[in-house]
Copies of this chain bind each other. A is one copy, B any other.
Amino acid sequence: MSVNATEHPALDVIQNRWSPYRFEPRVVEDEKILTCLEAARWAASSFNDQPWSWIIARRQDTVEFERMVGCLMEPNRGWAGHAGVLILTVTRNSFAYNKKPNRVALHDLGQAAAQLALQATALGLQVHQMAGVNLSLIRQEYGIPEGHEPQTGIAIGYPDSSDPVGELASELHRRETGPRQRRSLGEQVFGEKWGAQAEFVS
């Protein structure tokens, strides 16, 4: 899974990060979880507002873990239920320093989540993020206050590299072991106008 056709050699942790659908049903060491959260903590954010927060459930805390699994959309519950850690992410809508709306809170959550995922990769873990979470249930279940928004789910764990068993497992295996594909730089890097390829991008 670490092989992909990067046109220009990016950092190893970037090349080796992927989103597994199969995790070993195994506890993740607290020190590794804390290091992932620490990596997220140092992300850049507008006015250093750090508009993110994390609700976390570890696999070994079975009641809390199952409660969080129930807050995922149905198609995610099966595979994510094997992860070592689940996280629900929350943003604050307004800047702490002036109470004005923060247009980029979701963007900055994404930056923090990306750093978390790369740190996980460096520790031998992988992360699979989900937009498919039950936002209204999360708000109710975890008492998310006004001015804050539940946003995404994050599964962290040791990827399962064993042979898949059964039809569903095979399908997930196919999805996760297929080539990682991305649009070319030419399709996403523009120069004088949006849609006009930048000339130095070949």
Contact = CB atoms under 8 A, between A and B. Distances in A.
A104 B131 contact: yes
Contact of A11 (B13, B19, B103, B108): B13
A174 interface: no
Taken together, the copies of this chain in the complex come to 2
Interface residues of A, number: 78
From A14, A35, A127, name the one whose CB has the most chain B CB atoms within 10 angstroms.
A14
Given A7-B34, A17-B42, A38-B6, A188 B54 contact: yes
A38 B7 contact: yes
Interface of A is mostly: mixed
Interface in A1-37: 4, 6-11, 13-15, 17, 19, 30-31, 33-35, 37
Interface of A: 4, 6-11, 13-15, 17, 19, 30-31, 33-35, 37-39, 41-44, 46, 48, 50, 52-58, 64, 90, 103-104, 106-115, 117-119, 122, 127, 129, 131, 142-145, 148, 151-152, 180-183, 185, 188-195, 198, 200-201
